[in-house]
Structure 1
């Protein structure tokens, strides 16, 4: 995708009937897979606020009108993500999940610890690292049939979120490099820290969810689920090459990532009047067709 073709579209968050009859284990009845994505969703609203704040720290120093416009659109998209995931998280609260307590703890860590103890440049580097991780997952999660067994509404929510993560994946990085003048060492230290803290918090939330659910044989559920995540051919090993590119000194987000799924989703979404479920289903059908060919 050439530079002039890259665009950040300030879409309004889709109405996906997240208050409807979505099964508790909406991912093919699988407790681990469902709660893995539920836990990530739970973290997004406060996480998006943190990202917006860290990028805005340098907003007044941006003298490139194009980058300034990208920051504005990045802020809008992240705000929409927070609102949609908050609606989804209200489902979790109704299931007995301690959503408010978890979010308050997350807020204390990010705003009460990270932003008080680390420099503004470092917290921006944390944001750039997190944006790479989410964009990496966005590029990878919809290649193949990962979400084939998922409820169409949740699949559509994550597909929409993934598309927008791809669109703005370079914004925090560009502000870090071009405006904050951040160096390689800080960028890598922030990535190593984020690579540990993000899954650690997801797993802690999942442990709480399994306890609330009264999951039987939780050890077996964890072993099977962690194999799905980390075993040969698992979700994370498939993304490892993309992850490691961040450690190259000359890395830039737009050097990497297959855009075919993004383009397919975007074309379907625009042709069908903003139908997020239809766009996600079109991606699903195309990946099945590709796998069968």
Structure 2
């Protein structure tokens, strides 16, 4: 049984969007499409390799409890969450085909992700545990969304097609950021200890997996050991140095908020640029143009 589920009026509606064209087959998309930076680009590319398998994992973990949900509003949110996540996986599959053409071992990486998430984690961990991991991963994604898309910097620096793809993905992640958490709290009744354990797990797994894949990509790019060392030094400072992406107060406050016993994802509100993006998408139907509106944030 669930407790009554009421979505606050100011929170955005979860809207599955299909058949969006980001022109990912264009041949002129540069290899280093974000700020002409190997580190920034491969940071995003490494995450993209995780999405098709990762989204299927998240869908499976929420679907485990779908039949126990009796509240129609939460049932609809789960349905829309599944459709959105499915679309994310499909679009990133298309983008990942570009990475394959560059020599990135996407197929091998996906087999590794599948083994750890499905063949190992879902086989040996409880359904509550895997759902808690999903909720924690959704929180980490929400933090990245706020960091990268509540300022115009990423949009200004990135190729418009990839900026549009990631902006669309980010806005939809923000729309459904509370679904897995609500199922975890209201249906699965996951305790605080397991919630925090899963949060620690994703805090370790996310950077470790990303960095290992990035190192593979640097080698595929033909970077020498010295070039890789320079890229890592500069890039890790961008992430963890003074004023870095992961040391900003906006990140730390959002990140640590998950530790509060009374935490809920909507306490952080919606993305500040969401209404700009949504208005342009509804007006033009062009997700690339919608992404470019974030320059005006």
Normalising to structure 1: TM-score of the pair?
Answer: 0.95
**CA distance in structure 1 between the partners assigned to 2:258 and 2:42 by the alignment:** 28
Is 2:157 the counterpart of 1:146? no
Is 2:282 the counterpart of 1:282? no
CA RMSD of aligned residues (A): 1.1
- SS of 1:137's partner is helix
Is 2:213 the counterpart of 1:233? no
Q: Which runs of 4+ in 1 moved over 6 A?
A: none
Count of equivalent residues: 284
**CA distance in structure 2 between the partners assigned to 1:269 and 1:161 by the alignment:** 13
Q: Which shows bigger deviation, 9-18 or 123-132?
A: 9-18
Give 5+ residue unaligned stretches, structure 1: 288-293
Give 5+ residue unaligned stretches, structure 2: 1-6
**CA distance in structure 2 between the partners assigned to 1:236 and 1:85 by the alignment:** 24
**CA distance in structure 2 between the partners assigned to 1:133 and 1:125 by the alignment:** 12
1:34-183 matched pairs, under 5 angstroms: 34-144=41-151, 145-183=153-191
**CA distance in structure 1 between the partners assigned to 2:194 and 2:209 by the alignment:** 22
Residues 18-40 of structure 1, C-alpha deviation per residue, up to 9 Å, x if partnerless? 11121111112210011000000
8 A contact 1:13–1:84 mirrored in 2: no
Shift of 1:155: 0.3
Normalising to structure 2: TM-score of the pair?
Answer: 0.93
